């Protein structure tokens, strides 16, 4: 098993991350925001060490889905030695809005 894949966020995923953090800062406590951040970091670390750990998505078999929290899923794919994060999707949205 290889470890330490490079992580690359797409512009779309970064935009979703920014939107999510803005929402959390307005509606959650600092402690909840810190916990989410730690969960996200831990999930990305797991993906970096073992990209095949999480199941493939129902929409595309080349994309995998990791549950970060009950409100957020992280969609990613492996490209050689790089993990490309495609989306940090809020589960409160209509599932048809997922762009992966």
Q: Say if 21 falls within a structural domain.
A: yes
The residue with tokens 């073992």 is 50
pTM over 0.75, yes/no: yes
Residue 99 in domain: no
Q: Which residue has the tokens 């966020």?
A: 9
pLDDT tens digits, 48-67:
999 999 999 888 999 999 99
Quote the number of domains for the chain.
Answer: 1
Residue 98 forms part of a structural domain: no
Please state, for a pLDDT cut of 90, what percent of the chain lies above it: 69
Alpha helices in 1-100 (DSSP H): 11-27, 30-49
* Residue 37 resides in a domain: yes
pLDDT of residue 94: 59
Q: Is residue 97 part of a domain?
A: no
Which CATH number belongs to the domain containing residue 14 in this structure?
Answer: 3.30.2310.20
State the residue range of the domain holding 64. 6-91
Rounded to whole angstroms, the Cα distance separating 67 from 43 reads 8
User: What is the dihedral angle through the alpha carbons of 9, 81, 70, 40, rounded to the nearest 10 degrees?
Assistant: -60
Cα–Cα distance for residue pair 3/9, rounded to 1 Å: 18
Please state the φ and ψ torsions of residue 56, each to the nearest 5 degrees: -70, 155
**Confidence bin at 3 (pLDDT 50/70/90):** low
70-93 pLDDT, tens digit per residue, is: 889 999 999 988 999 999 998 766
| Residue 25 within a domain | yes
């Amino acid at each position: 098993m290889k470890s330490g894949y490079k992580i690359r966020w797409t512009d779309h995923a970064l935009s979703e991350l920014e939107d999510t953090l803005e929402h959390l800062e307005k509606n959650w406590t600092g402690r909840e925001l810190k916990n989410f951040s730690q969960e996200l970091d831990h999930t990305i670390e797991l993906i970096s060490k073992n990209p095949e750990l999480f199941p493939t998505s129902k929409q595309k078999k080349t994309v995998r889905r990791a549950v970060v929290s009950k409100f957020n899923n992280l969609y990613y794919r492996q490209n050689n030695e790089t993990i490309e994060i495609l989306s940090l999707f809020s589960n409160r949205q209509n599932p048809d809005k997922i762009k992966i």
